[in-house]
Amino acid sequence: MRITNYIYNKLLSIFFSQRGARLCITGSSITTLRDIAITVKSIEIKAHIINVKNLYFALFSRKAIVKFSVSNATVQEDNRRLLALDNATIKIKYKNTQNFQLTISLPDIGALFIQRDKEEIFFKATASTVNIINLLPQEFFCRESISQSIQSGIAILAYFNNEANVAIPRLNYIVNGFKPKSPSPNAGQKIKNWIIEALKSKSHLSSNYIQYDDFPQLIRSIVICTEDPAFYLHKGVCPYAMGLIVKSIISAQLPHGGGSTLTQQLMRNAFLSGEKDINRKIKEIAMSLIAENHFHLSKHDILEIYLNMAEMGKGIYGFGDASFHYFGKPIDRLNVIETLTLTYMLPRPIYFEDALVKKTEQLKRNLKKHILKFLPILFYKNVINEIPDIFPISGIDFTMPYGTLTFSVPHKLKSVDYIIIHCSATPVNLDCDVNTIRCMHLGQGFDDIGYHWVIKRDGTVETGREEELEGAHCMGYNHNSIGICYVGGLDGNGLAANTMTAAQEASMIALCVKLKKKFPSAEIVGHNQLCDKNCPCFDVARWVKQNKL
């Protein structure tokens, strides 16, 4: 065990030293490789949370119990102020990606507790009034009013259930500690003006400020969907997003996004430095809670300012300016693909512009993935009524000097040797169309709907993927086959069954006759004849013989 401790301490020291940290481990104990306790006497680093993340990587185990404590640590924020963390502790109980507990105690700031059990997350965070006020910038709006409003400090309690079949998680979210009375009748307008002036002083605002009602609903909805899906559910901070970030970190994965709400991004850009560290994150959280819960800054005002201040390139701020810069037209003429393109660049505006000039393969791949990911989400959330008839997406036309960014598209069919019959594997009482199945396939990472034809329950035949292009419906045969899908395939109990209506069967026969005339050498087969599948849930070979196809 002494040798194990020595090796462990050496590895831990290397992890920290590579990131610029200096620490002294005064004691550690390992009873098993899944039960680790560490005490750190001192640590000197600006962004110590990065080292905490690296510690998770170092200790990653499917069933880990980690206790990490820091005594009398000092984090240097800038040349004027030092923040002392007295006996800060972090405890993790981690079983798998769906079950974990995290407790962080920072006596000089507050405490945080997150527990996840499958898709359920419980979140609790507390901070005292004195610590909150001390965290705020000296010039922050109405400090005395804030102190009077949150005399007992702030506590956040949240419970989530993010079921896989719902677009928006069930969210119970309470912010306690604020007095219900607003500090003044027009406090929201005052802090709005104050935020705008702060952004102007940093030259971080659109040259042509656009009011909320002048932004198309499409832009407002897409930005909320891509940047802050729980925007109208939370009160400045989204514990659900923070819980997912924590889950990613302790699962030894890189977090997807920073978990910041639109309100947090406003506060950060208006009042804080660009340096990434835990202190800045705590400040932006505190200011966001105060802005929405104390000053009652409205969601409309938050979204309006955000749409005017978002950085979209070197010296480009706001969606209005970005629309002219990249597409040469006003925002009310942007289509859904162009709007999604603008949201893609939000986390990476400078890198995006440079990659667009160079037409990098990474940009082509990631931008296309972003668009295909959010199109079905926008459809399910009724932001758009239908999936645009633009598949396969071959590229995006930008204004000069950028030109067209081309995407890869499916290959053309080499031949048509098979006409493959499929079912949609949906219940007998559920009808769906090309748009619905296209969304299902886009959600699975396809370029487009996998089938060339879809037959609805009333016999209507709808066109899917272009007939001359390879489909995505039967592995190993996509290069030389055409896919036909009838809607159905499951009975009332969810079991495989031939649920074709008479109208569907008539349309199926007519379509097969038409395709056989066009491709006379093609063989009509069922998906289950080529792969180990139930689909299409009936004997196609017998059906072909009966109908003399």
- Candidate list 41, 67, 300, 533, residue with the active-site label: 533
Annotation marks residue 294 as catalytic: no
What six digits make up the tokens of 439? 């969304």
H-helix or E-strand spanning residue 58: helix 48-58
The strand pairing partners of 482, in sequence order, are: 419
- CA dist 191 and 14 (Å) reads 47
Tokens 């005339």 identify what position?
517
382: exposed, middle or buried (Cβ count in 10 Å: 0-12, 13-18, 19+): exposed
- CA dist 271 and 95 (Å) reads 39
- Candidate list 451, 452, 456, 485, residue with the active-site label: 451
Give the CA angle between residues 82, 85, 135 to the nearest 5°: 55
Annotation marks residue 238 as catalytic: no
What six digits make up the tokens of 227? 């940047």
Annotation marks residue 527 as catalytic: yes
How are strands ordered across the β-sheet holding 170-176? Answer: 22-32, 35-44, 64-70, 88-96, 99-106, 110-117, 120-127, 154-161, 170-176
- Candidate list 48, 238, 527, 537, residue with the active-site label: 527
Peptide bond into 536 cis (omega under 30): yes
Annotation marks residue 422 as catalytic: yes
| Spatial CA neighbour of 464 closest among 498, 440, 429, 500 | 440
Contacts of 201 (CB under 8 A, 6+ apart): none
Residue 39 has phi, psi (to 5 degrees) of -120, 125
DSSP class of residue 398 equals P
What six digits make up the tokens of 43? 């640590």
Contacts of 436 (CB under 8 A, 6+ apart): none
Annotation marks residue 533 as catalytic: yes
- Candidate list 294, 422, 441, 452, residue with the active-site label: 422
CA distance from start to end of the chain: 75
- Candidate list 225, 238, 439, 535, residue with the active-site label: 535
Query: What residues are annotated to the active site?
Result: 422, 451, 527, 533, 535
